[in-house]
């Protein structure tokens, strides 16, 4: 059963300008491993985290670093949730996440399906 669906789109250049203007923002949004990504991938990762929040109903109090985007051995994007995000997902009965991400022509996007 689908518990929630989320999608988000990010303008890569504008996102880069925001990160440059607010130096501590990257640490609030991304795990240490995620912070090493190139800008377009970082923007897609942010879009994925926004999509996760939307799939969970966008509740107040989610910590950005409690959803980590990474790749499996075959290169497929995955989400690992902990803390506040895992608590909300558990309360809704989410057992599995499906994620797709893309970036091209200055735009990054992500779509998430939360499955129960």
For 54, the domain range is 2-115
How many helices (H) and strands (E) would you count in the chain? Answer: 4, 5
Q: Which of 71, 65, 69 is nearest to 29 (CA)?
A: 65
Express each pLDDT in 31-50 by its tens digit. 999 999 999 999 999 999 99
How many domains are there within the chain? 1
Pairwise CA distance, residues 35 & 5, whole Å: 25
Q: Write the CATH number for 102.
A: 3.90.470.20
User: Residue 28 above 90 pLDDT?
Assistant: yes
- Taking the whole predicted model, whether its pTM rises above 0.75 is answered as yes
């Amino acid at each position: 059963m689908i518990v929630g669906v989320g999608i988000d789109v990010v303008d890569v250049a504008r996102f880069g300008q925001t990160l440059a203007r607010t130096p501590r923002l990257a640490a609030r949004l991304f795990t240490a491993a995620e912070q090493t990504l190139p800008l377009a991938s970082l923007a897609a990762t942010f879009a994925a985290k926004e999509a996760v929040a939307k799939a969970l109903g966008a509740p107040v109090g989610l910590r950005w670093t409690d959803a980590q985007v990474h790749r499996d051995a075959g290169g497929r994007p995955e989400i690992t949730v902990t803390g506040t995000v895992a608590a909300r997902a558990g309360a809704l009965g989410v057992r599995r996440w499906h994620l797709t991400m893309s970036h091209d022509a200055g735009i990054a996007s992500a779509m998430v399906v939360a499955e129960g």
